[in-house]
Amino acid sequence: MKKILAALLLSFIIMGCTDTKKQEQNLLNEVIKVHDRVMGKEELIMTNKMQLDTLVKKNPSPAIIAEATIHNKALDSADTRMENWMHNFDAENKGKNHNEIMTYLTDQKKQIDAIDSTFNLTVAASAKFIKQHKVQ
């Protein structure tokens, strides 16, 4: 009877660990998925920065320069935020229990979602400005 109870208890523990590891892996995969999406937009930031520079060279009016500078700084800021997030992100989570890992990954998901949103807004705003002031 003791052997049966021990085996049953061990199977519950193993199944419980498997479920928590799967939860952790699923959440990590969500974070990485957003990260990959944001990294795909990195080229848009560089393209818009180059187009802003070209626009300023072709139309060096103070108003254009001022607004282009604002968009350029916003693009730089979004890019820097992403770099800082990647530098600080710890995918391994060694020495943490399940609750700590889930809390950490949930927080990281919120951060990378916010960065994704910032990327979208800054790229869209700068693209709109470029389109409106593009010299033919």
> What is the per-residue pLDDT across 39-59, written as a single tens digit (0 to 9) for each?
999 999 999 999 999 999 998
In the chain, where do the E strands start and end?
A: none
Q: CA–CA separation, 67 vs 73, rounded Å?
A: 10
> What is the per-residue pLDDT across 14-36, written as a single tens digit (0 to 9) for each?
555 568 889 999 999 999 999 99
**SS3 label, residue 90:** coil
> What is the per-residue pLDDT across 103-127, written as a single tens digit (0 to 9) for each?
999 999 999 999 999 999 999 999 9
pLDDT at residue 101 tops 80: yes
pLDDT at 60: 87
User: How many residues can be counted in the chain?
Assistant: 136
Structure tokens that stand for 2 in this block: 């003791």
Q: CA–CA separation, 39 vs 29, rounded Å?
A: 15
pLDDT at 34: 95
Structure tokens that stand for 126 in this block: 């700068």
